[in-house]
Amino acid sequence: MIRWCSEQVGGTLVEEFLAVPKGKNKSRRLIDGIIIRDGENRGPKRRRHY
C-alpha cells in the first residue's frame, strides 16, 4: 500500500524509517515508510537498523 501511495504522490519513498532509536529503557520504533515529496523518484530505499 505504501508503494502504491508513493507512486501516486511521487518523490522518494524511504521504507522502515527509524523514528525512535533503541535506548536503555526503550525499544526502537520504525515507521512503515515516509515519502519525501520533493525528493528524487528512484523507488523505495530500504534501510536496515540493527
Using alpha carbons only, give the angle 6, 11, 13 rounded to the nearest 5 degrees: 55
Q: Any idea where the domains of the chain sit in the sequence?
A: 2-43
pTM above threshold 0.85: no
User: Of 9 and 41, which is predicted with more confidence?
Assistant: 9
> Nine-digit cell at 25?
529503557
Contacts of residue 33, Cβ cutoff 8 Å, sequence gap at least 6: 2, 3, 6, 13, 14, 15, 16, 17, 44
Identify the residue with better confidence: 4 or 42: 4
Average pLDDT of the residues of the chain: 82
Span 1-5, mean pLDDT?
Answer: 85
Q: What is the pLDDT of residues 37-50, one digit of tens each?
A: 887 765 555 555 54
Q: What is the pLDDT of residue 41?
A: 65
Helix, strand, coil distribution of the chain in percent, nearest 5? 15, 45, 40
